A and B are shown apart, each in its own frame.
Chain A
Amino acid sequence: NAGVMQNPRHLVRRRGQEARLRCSPMKGHSHVYWYRQLPEEGLKFMVYLQKENIIDESGMPKERFSAEFPKEGPSILRIQQVVRGDSAAYFCASSPGFGVYGYTFGSGTRLTVV
């Protein structure tokens, strides 16, 4: 009964490279949320997806960031041409639907851009 699985746990990228962060929701959960946590700050909402659909991307930067949740496989948060300011912890959470009680977080991916 695995929880929300995120990988990799740590990711180092050079400026200009691409970063791909993966999130496998809990079994039975079809809703995925991505959050970003800058150092010494709270989590900020980025995007909310259901299978094959982006529901709310109001927190996503307009450029270089994209997210998907395909019919099969994990949800992917993709950051193109990374810059130092993208260094942060990226968290994924999942829920079985619109309810709150199944809102479970993964352990996050710490992205470091050098």
Chain B
Amino acid sequence: AQTVTQSQPEMSVQEAETVTLSCTYDTSESDYYLFWYKQPPSRQMILVIRQEAYKQQNATENRFSVNFQKAAKSFSLKISDSQLGDAAMYFCAYRSLDTFQGAQKLVFGQGTRLTINP
């Protein structure tokens, strides 16, 4: 079974600075998806960024980018120019690319609480 580990329960950063959140995962599969979700106090789960494992290029979405190291099974999230609205819980998640029905679920890490200091 796949597992996802986020080793940083809490992180803080000064507004406008850059912060990197870590995520490692364990899988025997070669093709899969990886995600970062943001959960603000409203509890809404918001997709931040997605990476397909078969793509070598790291995904980027505006101020958010990932460092995907497939061999190391590492998937970190970098937030540039941090803003107060970035404060939230951040969850790393894994999903198999397999099409069998049991593979449809997301496997989440424990989360990292990010605080932005003004």
Q: Report the bound CA distance from A110 to B101 in whole Å.
A: 28
Q: Is the CB of A108 within 8 A of B43?
A: yes
Specify the main secondary structure of chain A where it touches its partner. Answer: strand
Q: Is the CB of A42 within 8 A of B101?
A: no
Q: Report the bound CA distance from A55 to B99 in whole Å.
A: 13
Of residues 72 through 113 on chain A, the ones whose CB sits less than 8 Å from some CB of chain B are 89, 91, 93, 98, 100, 103, 105, 107-108, 110
Interface residues on chain A, size class: 20 to 34
Stretch in A12-20, A21-29, A43-51 with 4+ CB within 8 Å of B = A43-51
Stretch in B56-64, B69-77, B103-111 with 4+ CB within 8 Å of A = B103-111
Of residues 21 through 64 on chain B, the ones whose CB sits less than 8 Å from some CB of chain A are 33, 42-47, 50
Q: Is the CB of A59 within 8 A of B43?
A: no
The smallest beta-carbon distance between A23 and chain B, in angstroms, is 13
Q: Is the CB of A56 within 8 A of B105?
A: yes
Counting residue pairs across A and B whose Cβ atoms lie within 8 Å, the total is: 55
Given contacts A56-B102, A98-B99, contact A42 B43 (CB under 8 A): no
Contact partner, A48, options B6, B99, B101, B111, Cβ 8 Å: B101
Given contacts A43-B106, A43-B108, A100-B95, contact A91 B45 (CB under 8 A): yes
B91 at the interface (CB under 8 A from A): yes
Residues of chain A within 8 A of B50, CB atoms compared: 100
Q: Is the CB of B91 within 8 A of A42?
A: yes
